Amino acid sequence: MQFLITGGTGFVGSMLTAYLLRRGHTVHILTRHPKTNTVPGVKHFAWNPELQEIQLSALEGVDYIIHLAGAGVADKRWNKKYKQEILNSRVQSGALLRNTLNNHPHTVQGIISASAIGYYGPDKEGHTFTEQDPPGDNFLSDTCKVWEESMMGIDRVQLCTLRFGIIFGKDGGAFPKFMAPLKYGLSAILGNGKQVISWIHIEDVCRMIEFAVQHNLNGVYNAVAPMPATNRYLTIEISHRIRKNAYIPIHVPATLLKLVLGESSLEVLKSTTVSSEKISNAGFTFLYPSIKAALNDLLPEKDS
């Protein structure tokens, strides 16, 4: 199949591109800064969501669009300007795709559009979030809601929305940030460490996207591993793999996180328990269902 990826130069996009190429697919990328010959066989096409401009030749022969574009939520400290950038980068790109597909001839059969489990807000006692739950009441929830809405209303194109959890990979996503304090022998547990992290391995992200295409999925699916973990459990498991017992566990107080990170600290300290039952019932099988399975790939234990 021929895919067009937005956000294809980011961590998830670059890993997905490599995965799809290995699987024999053709990949084109929409980017603000087109490059040539960076990856053999991958063509780059220009777009500018802010100006609502797109190179129409990018759509030629495309079967599926994988829409990943959006400013990184954890890339900068949140202030009014950057929060607006986070929102605009998602809504404007969605509007550009919708308007382009509705107003120009194309061969696109379907779209896999990214969203995030930030849609749900913090845990409610004893409740696991499913795709049927309403959005929460905070900045990320509001952002995810309008992000998803921006992709609706595209004529004759099937839409599948994947709400991604925290993505773990060796070379990007959240995982390197968990490991960073261990350079100094510290195992940094955030807040009380009891907050639940609904996560997913990058390879399962790529496999799930291809699965959604192959099985013509539509509607919303949570893209999280079936076994979430607490911040403390994850941090200690990583620490033990890297330094065995040669590390000092410390709790980073919530007040310090709020001072350093500002409003985004609420997301770091938030507990979000999300169900993967719907995608599993559709027939998807996780390669990395548990933290231990993921760490066996990301941080294989060395012999003593």
Establish if 293 belongs to a structural domain: no
Predicted local confidence at residue 178, as pLDDT: 84
Predicted local confidence at residue 88, as pLDDT: 95
Establish if 51 belongs to a structural domain: yes
Asked whether the beta carbons of 83 and 139 are under 8 A apart, the reply is yes
Q: H or E stretch including 267?
A: helix 265-269
List the structure tokens of 56: 């129409």
List the structure tokens of 247: 């590390």
Asked whether the beta carbons of 39 and 50 are under 8 A apart, the reply is no
How far apart (Å, rounded) are the C-alpha atoms in residues 273 and 102?
Answer: 37
Predicted local confidence at residue 140, as pLDDT: 94
List the structure tokens of 302: 């060395």
How far apart (Å, rounded) are the C-alpha atoms in residues 156 and 158?
Answer: 7
Establish if 268 belongs to a structural domain: no
Task: Name the burial class of residue 97, with classes exposed (0-12), middle (13-18) and buried (19+) by CB atoms within 10 angstroms of its CB.
Answer: buried
> Which domain does 56 fall in, by range?
2-168+200-224+274-287
Per the structure, how many domains does the chain have? 1
Q: What is the pLDDT along the chain (304 residues), one digit of tens a residue?
A: 999 999 998 999 999 999 999 999 999 999 998 876 577 889 999 999 999 999 999 999 999 999 999 998 888 889 999 999 999 999 999 999 999 999 999 999 999 999 999 999 899 888 999 999 999 999 999 999 999 999 999 999 999 999 999 999 988 888 888 888 888 888 889 999 999 999 999 999 999 999 999 999 999 999 999 999 999 999 999 998 888 877 888 888 888 888 888 887 778 788 999 999 999 999 999 999 999 999 999 988 665 4
Please give the distance of CA 56 from its chain centroid, rounded to a whole number.
26
Establish if 246 belongs to a structural domain: no
Establish if 266 belongs to a structural domain: no
Establish if 254 belongs to a structural domain: no
Predicted local confidence at residue 193, as pLDDT: 92
Across the strands, what pairs with 53? 48
How far apart (Å, rounded) are the C-alpha atoms in residues 62 and 36?
Answer: 19
List the structure tokens of 149: 């809405």
Establish if 239 belongs to a structural domain: no
Establish if 299 belongs to a structural domain: no
List the structure tokens of 86: 């986070």
How far apart (Å, rounded) are the C-alpha atoms in residues 230 and 282?
Answer: 27
CATH, residue 78: 3.40.50.720
